[in-house]
Amino acid sequence: MQRFNRNIALMAIWIPDLDGRTGPKYLQIVAAMAEDIASGKLAAGARLPPHRELAYRLAVSANTTARAYAEAVRRALLRGEVGRGTFVRSPDGRKDGETANSLHRTRSGPIDLSRNLPLQGFAEPHVRRVVEEIAHGSRLPALLDYQADDDLAFHIRAGQAWLDHCGVSAGPDEIVATAGGQHAVLCTLMAVLQPGDLLLTEALTYMPVRAMAARLGLHAASVAMDREGAIPEAFEDLCRHAHPKAFYLTPTLQAPTTVTLSHERRRAIADIAGRHGVILIEDDVFGPLKADRPAPLATHAPDHTVYVTSLSKTVAPGLRVGFARAAEHLLPGLRHAVNVSVWMTPPLTLEIAARLIVDGTAAELAARQRQVAEQRQALARALLGDSGLVSDPHGLHVWMPLPEGWRADAFRARCAQYGVLVSEARSFAAEAAGAPDAVRICLSHEIDEARLQKGLRKIAQLLHDKTGNYELGL
């Protein structure tokens, strides 16, 4: 019975997949561990088996697994606790039971440069005004009830106006209102793909989309990128050999790299998608921040592009209203997905957003965000220097490839020790093993600019502090 129980325990422990890997065995184990952490298979706080038990399971020496664990600790993947064991380290370096970084903005504690949200506060007086108008108007009873199609006319007209502000023309029958941009993307995946279909994303992408794909039973693959964004030739090669159904991408102020696709690449990608029958899912939530961007993909390929925009990245983060524009043959599936997921986009929230759009306030608030983004981008360049820093004057974040000798996981962990939270490239990588050594630094989550300056100065100090270098250990 004792041996039987031991076998059951071994079956339940984490076992790295080493098939096809090369190099020293202990580094193969570390690489597999990093990939499983990035994919969520190994969650923060998960307890790993004792290294001798893992060695037994892998049929390697205990010295090999001990070296692997030591290397993983050095890379800030794991943490060891005397008498308790070895655990997966949380992204911000905190221990179990400690408060992790959240969406809440505070003026104390760690300086959070990991959240890509717009500044709050600009919209408050305008939303307060609109809410008071609704409260004293005649539409409130209808907004508290279920909505029929006729009730949505004002909201759809507002959606048309916002899409026009984003550079996309749309008829009222081509628009679906959603509970934010993320909801619009989820509904699009539900509408245009079936379980087993192949979804493409950029090699570095908005990772909730990969999680959505997994939940919906979709296969996923990534399109290679260079300094100018997604590579059209790589997209076409996948179209020829893998036959994808859809390609999700963020052509403007791409998260995390800040890249905005050129007019030429947009035309090429639209042409490739048309020839191979691939649906483009264009996430343009940052589009209104960049007035000089090329025309959206949807203008080049209106029949096979679902264009997604929202107000949460440019007007107010808590105003969860989005709009999806699609061709007629895609609209029934989109509307059904909204019905299945939330039945209807909350009418009261839609009314607030629609009034802000129609009276011009939403566009003014987006312009205000753009102005602050320019100021904070200038601050980041001044404190971090231009060497290697990838940024856009109108974006809310910067992308920082690290100097030689720094690993992104170690740099992120060192930043956390200094009280600054950043995101490493692996958090966005479709394939963790190929993630570059780089970090994303967000500039708008912190309310207090003095805290932002302090955080950027600490990062700059780390970059020049050779005692913090990964090669010298953590």
What DSSP designation does 107 have?
Answer: S
Per run of 10 residues, the mean pLDDT along the chain (length 474 residues) is 41 79 89 80 84 90 91 80 77 46 67 87 90 92 82 90 94 94 96 96 92 92 95 97 97 95 97 97 95 94 96 90 95 94 92 96 93 94 87 94 87 87 89 86 92 95 64 35
For the record, the structure tokens of 62 come out as 């205990």
Instruction: For each of the domains in the chain, give its residue range(s) and CATH number, in order of start.
Output: 2-88 (1.10.10.10), 111-117+367-472 (3.90.1150.10), 124-359 (3.40.640.10)
C-alpha pair distances (Å), 199 with each of 219, 298, 306, 331, 333:
6, 18, 14, 19, 17
Nearest CA-CA partner of 68 in 48, 84, 83, 82: 48
**Can you give the pLDDT at residue 468?**
45
User: What is the per-residue DSSP string for 35-55?
Assistant: HHHHHTSS-TTPEEPPHHHHH
Residue 454 exposed, middle or buried by CB count within 10 Å (0-12, 13-18, 19+): middle
For the record, the structure tokens of 221 come out as 């693959």
- Tell me the β-bridge partners of 426: none
Neighbours of 295 (CB within 10 A): 13
Cβ contact 306:324 at 8 Å: yes
| 240/405 Cα distance (integer angstroms) | 39
**Can you give the pLDDT at residue 81?**
72
| 377/392 Cα distance (integer angstroms) | 7
| 320/256 Cα distance (integer angstroms) | 22
**Can you give the pLDDT at residue 409?**
83
Side-chain half-sphere exposure of 24, counting CA atoms within 13 A: 10
| 473/468 Cα distance (integer angstroms) | 7
Cβ contact 423:412 at 8 Å: yes
**Can you give the pLDDT at residue 149?**
67
Beta strands of 7-153 (E only): which ranges?
A: 47-48, 78-81, 85-88, 111-112
**Can you give the pLDDT at residue 457?**
95
Residue 83 exposed, middle or buried by CB count within 10 Å (0-12, 13-18, 19+): exposed
**Can you give the pLDDT at residue 228?**
95
